[in-house]
Copies of this chain bind each other. A is one copy, B any other.
Amino acid sequence: MPKISAEQREARREQILAAALSCFSRDGFHRTTTADVVRESGLSQGTLYLYFKSKDDLIAALADDRHQREAALNALAEHQEDPLKSIHALIRLYAGRLSDPAQTDSLRVGLQGWAEALRNERVRTGVLEGVSSARSALVRVIRRGQRTGVFKRGLDATAMAQVLIALFQGFVLQAAWEPRRDLEPCFKLVDDLVQDSLSCSR
A residues near B (Cβ < 8 Å) are: 27-31, 108, 111-112, 114-119, 124, 127-128, 131, 155-156, 158-160, 162-163, 165-171, 173-174, 176-178, 183, 185-186, 188-190, 193, 196-197
Contacts and interface: CB of A to CB of B under 8 A. Distances in A.
A171 B172 CA distance: 13
Given A28-B116, A28-B118, A159-B185, 6 more contacts: A29-B30, A127-B177, A162-B183, A162-B185, A166-B186, A197-B197
A34 to B, nearest CB: 15
Among A156, A166, A193, chain B packs the most CB atoms within 10 A around the CB of A166
Nearest to A155: B189
A128 B185 contact: no
Nearest to A181: B162
Contacts of A185: 156, 158-159, 162
Contacts of A176: 118
28 contacts: A28-B30, A28-B118, A29-B30, A111-B114, A111-B118, A114-B115, A114-B173, A115-B116, A118-B177, A124-B177, A127-B177, A131-B177, A156-B188, A156-B189, A159-B186, A159-B188, A163-B186, A163-B189, A163-B193, A166-B166, A166-B169, A166-B170, A166-B173, A167-B167, A168-B170, A169-B169, A193-B193, A196-B197
Contacts of A124: 177
Contacts of A167: 163, 166-167, 170
A38 to B, nearest CB: 20
Contact of A115 (B115, B160, B188, B197): B115
Contacts of A188: 156, 159
Nearest to A197: B193
Contact of A28 (B119, B165, B170): B119
Contacts of A183: 162
Given A128-B177, A163-B186, A196-B196, A108 B112 contact: no
